[in-house]
Amino acid sequence: MTAPNRPTASLRTLHVIRLSIFGGAFLFGVVTWWLRRETPPPIEADMGPLRFVGYALWVSVLVVLAFLRGLLGKAVDLARRATLLIIAWATAESLALFGGVVWFLHGESNWYIAGMCLLLATFILFPLTRE
């Protein structure tokens, strides 16, 4: 079986992708903050099963990021490295967006803040490199 010949993403393209991932999650938080300043959340503070979904999402994202970190260390092809970087960033973004939804629906901002912190940590652990 032959591997596909993928074009290598430029460093500028990866910067734009990383900025758009962060910007989208950050903008979602800003809009949620703006809407929740004066109006109460639509659902009471008891999250119920959504809390367990959040814990499961955290565990699965951390496992996927650890797996991707190992794959990134073994990758020699620049196109494969770019693909793994984008997948890692998008995986971490899912936690920030989940936290934004929890903040919007239940008024608990700590899920969003934790997700954004992990997103920033992922940008540090999966950096762009000039090669």
Q: Cβ(47)–Cβ(102) under 8 Å? A: yes
Cα dist from 31 to 7, 15, 19, 23, 82, whole Å: 36, 24, 18, 12, 30
The residue extents of the domains of the chain are 11-39+51-125
Give the C-alpha separation, 105 to 107, whole Å.
6
Q: Is the pLDDT of residue 46 over 80?
A: no
Residue 49 pLDDT grade (very low, low, confident, very high; cuts 50, 70, 90): confident
**Torsion from C-alpha of 18, 71, 93, 7, nearest 10 degrees:** 40
pTM of the predicted structure, to 2 decimals? 0.87
Tell me how crowded residue 90 is: count the other CB atoms within 10 A of its CB: 12
